Amino acid sequence: MKPLVVLGDALLDRDLDGRVDRLCPDAPVPVVDDPQGLARPGGAALAALLAAEGSRSVVLITAVGDDTAGRELGTLLDRAGVELVDLGLQGRTGEKVRIRTAGRSLLRLDYGGPGGPVGTLTPGAGSALAAAGAVLVSDYGRGITSEPSVRHRLADLVGRTPVVWDPHPRGADPVPGVRLATPNRAEAEAFTRDLPAGTGLRGVTGRARALLARWRAAGVAVTTGAQGAVLVAGDGSPLVVPAPVVHGGDPCGAGDRFAAAAATCLADGGLVSEAVVDAVTVAAQFVAAGGAGALHLETDADAVAAAPYPRSAQEVVQATRAAGGTVVATGGCFDLLHAGHVRTLQAARRLGDCLIVCVNDDASVRRLKGPDRPLVAQADRVAVLEGLGCVNAVTLFGEDTPEAILDRLRPDIWAKGADYAVADLPEAALVASWGGEAVVLPYLAGRSTSQLIQEATRRAP
């Protein structure tokens, strides 16, 4: 699986969250008592961190200063498994500090002005781009996307590698030919100030079409906050993707989550339309979960999930519960693992602190699928699944349904692909009996083992 490369301006974000129950005696401003600090990657570094939640390796090409914030940012990225390719920064590492209370921001302090990379694109950065399955350009208007060597390399790349460009009004225009550009509504308006003002869907679509022509992009998706996104590509009708209803939440980082999800989908071979649909869903879930402010970069439960193999499913469950984490399980045959399987597994892992995969053994697959299945023996199917970064343990079961293994593991969440309805899941009542929940996840349409077999048969000489 080729890595996802994120290129752009990295920041260090810091939240100081405290209690407010009084005003300052010398000014009508709130007093924030006992603020607790939490640092996390920001800008392009946040996009890389979010992309690294799945099984795909992630490389971040950016420019970081030789200062305290830069070193702290490097440590956070290393803990998250993101490979950092540092071009060197002219000036101080950008840092944004939010003063917050009860989940709401009172004030933001910004440090570090614009400052591009020290030199041209390094050989290491060029090698990373050449090996990428997809590239996400995360522009925060601090100079990297204006560097001529960077633009030249990206212009050479767009014809053979999917490039998603998340633009910034103070940054450079996308290089011609990018697969998808993802401005939000305010950014799209800033980029098209020369156009007559438009309102509603017609206005968003008009600006998107103007940017599509101006940037010579294959597609432009304008994100519209709680309304979702509008995609224009070619001369066809716009694709309007409504967002799931979210009550509350924090939109901080939603644009980065959208762009990272879209780039990951394209790296997996998805269509631009599939990428936008998936990204809207993922971004809405991210906002509902508390946005960037709710990210936990180093918890006991995360340490349990990251522990090396070999460990049994029961050991992972026990250790995760001891750390106060949430156990997620899913199941299936996983014969000829394909992109649809991987996407569902990645989505399932994001629901909790560990993922247990329950796999039908060879005998049960034959009963369910026919005498010619499975094509891949159970030992190999288990080995492939264990190699995915989003999977923490794999266990075999021999029954036609997974009720027995579920009763032994008792996960908090049982997740299946969206070709099921919750009411139709035979395991739903069992999982509910110990207080768990059965959920369905979006399934990547058009991917199935049966289709792979049919296509292989058709092509056989």
- Compute the half-sphere exposure of residue 197: CA atoms within 13 Å on the CB side of its CA: 2
- The pLDDT of residue 449 is above 70: no
- For residue 417, what pLDDT band results from cuts at 50, 70 and 90? confident
Q: How many CB atoms lie within 10 A of CB 311?
A: 15
State whether 273 and 346 are in the same domain. Answer: no
Residue 107 has pLDDT above 90, yes or no: yes
Token reading at 375:
């094509």
Q: How far apart are CA 384 and CA 401, in angstroms?
A: 22
Residue 149 pairs in a beta bridge with: none
Residue-wise pLDDT for 71-84, tens only, equals 999 999 998 899 99
Does residue 43 contact residue 138 with C-beta atoms inside 8 Å? yes
Is it the case that residue 113 has pLDDT exceeding 60? yes
pLDDT tens digits, 290-308 = 877 777 554 444 444 444 4
CATH of residue 380's domain is 3.40.50.620
The stretch 439-446 carries a mean pLDDT of: 67
Of 15, 139, 256, 361, which residue is the catalytic one?
256
Mean pLDDT of 210-239: 93
Nearest to 412, CA basis, from 454, 353, 372: 353
Range of the domain at 138: 4-292
Per-residue pLDDT band for 56 (boundaries 50, 70, 90) equals confident
Q: Could you tell me the pLDDT band of residue 250, with boundaries at 50, 70 and 90?
A: confident
Query: In angstroms, rounded to a whole number, what is the distance separating the alpha carbons of residues 42 and 98?
Result: 12
The pairs formed by 452-457 with CB atoms below 8 angstroms and a separation of 24 or more are 452/336, 452/338, 453/336, 453/375
Are both 114 and 98 inside the same structural domain?
yes
Q: Work out the average pLDDT over 273-278.
A: 94
Residue with tokens 């209690």: 19
Average pLDDT over residues 95-106: 87
**C-alpha to C-alpha distance for 100 and 418, rounded to whole angstroms:** 37
Are 223 and 323 contained in the same domain?
Answer: no
**Domain stops at, among 243, 270, 292:** 292
Pair (233, 166) in one structural domain: yes
State what percent of residues in the chain have pLDDT above 90.
49
Please tell me whether residue 332 adopts helix, strand or coil conformation.
strand
The pLDDT of residue 115 is 65
Together in a domain, 135 and 68: yes
Nearest to 103, CA basis, from 12, 224, 20, 226: 20
The CATH number covering residue 220 comes to 3.40.1190.20
Q: DSSP for 410-426?
A: --SEEEEETTS-GGG-T
Q: How confident is the model at residue 89 (pLDDT cuts 50, 70, 90)?
A: confident
Average pLDDT over residues 232-245: 89
Confidence category of residue 67, pLDDT binned at 50, 70, 90: confident
Among 263-277, 361-375, 406-420, the range with the most confident prediction by mean pLDDT is 263-277
Domain's final residue, options 292, 327, 343: 292
pLDDT digits (tens, 9 = 90+) for 202-214: 899 999 999 999 9
Q: In this structure, which amino acid lies at residue 100? A: R
30: DSSP letter: B
Q: Which pLDDT does position 302 carry in this prediction?
A: 47
CA–CA distance, 312 with 298 (Å, rounded to integer):
23
Following DSSP, what letter does each residue of 206-218 receive, concatenated? HHHHHHHHHHT-S
- Distance CA(119)–CA(114), nearest Å, equals 15
User: How does residue 424 score in pLDDT terms, banded at 50, 70 and 90?
Assistant: low
pLDDT at 138: 95
Residues 251 and 312 in one domain: no
On whether the CB atoms of residues 9 and 43 are closer than 8 A, the answer is yes
Higher per-residue confidence, 304 vs 354? 354
Q: Is 393 helix (H, G, I), strand (E, B) or coil?
A: strand
281 and 344, same domain (yes or no): no
256 among known catalytic residues? yes
Residues 228 and 355 in one domain: no
106 in Cβ contact with 32 (< 8 Å): yes
Q: Model's pTM, two decimal places?
A: 0.64
Question: Which domain-ending residue is among 265, 292, 319?
Answer: 292
Clarify whether residues 224 and 137 are in a common domain: yes
Domain count along the chain: 2
Closest CA to 38 of 76, 8, 66, 9: 76
> 377 and 349 in contact (C-beta within 8 Å)?
no
Q: Are 243 and 335 found together in one domain?
A: no
Q: Is the pLDDT of residue 335 over 90?
A: no
Clarify whether residues 367 and 272 are in a common domain: no
Q: Residues 325, 219: one domain?
A: no
pLDDT per residue over 27-53, tens digit each?
A: 999 999 888 878 889 999 999 999 998
Q: Kindly indicate the confidence band of residue 128, based on its pLDDT and cuts at 50, 70 and 90.
A: very high
Mean pLDDT for the stretch of residues 314-328: 88
At residue 314, the pLDDT reads: 87
297 neighbors 76 (Cβ within 8 angstroms): yes
For the record, the structure tokens of 226 come out as 């709680």
Predicted local distance difference test score (pLDDT) of residue 418 = 61
pLDDT at 279 over 70: yes
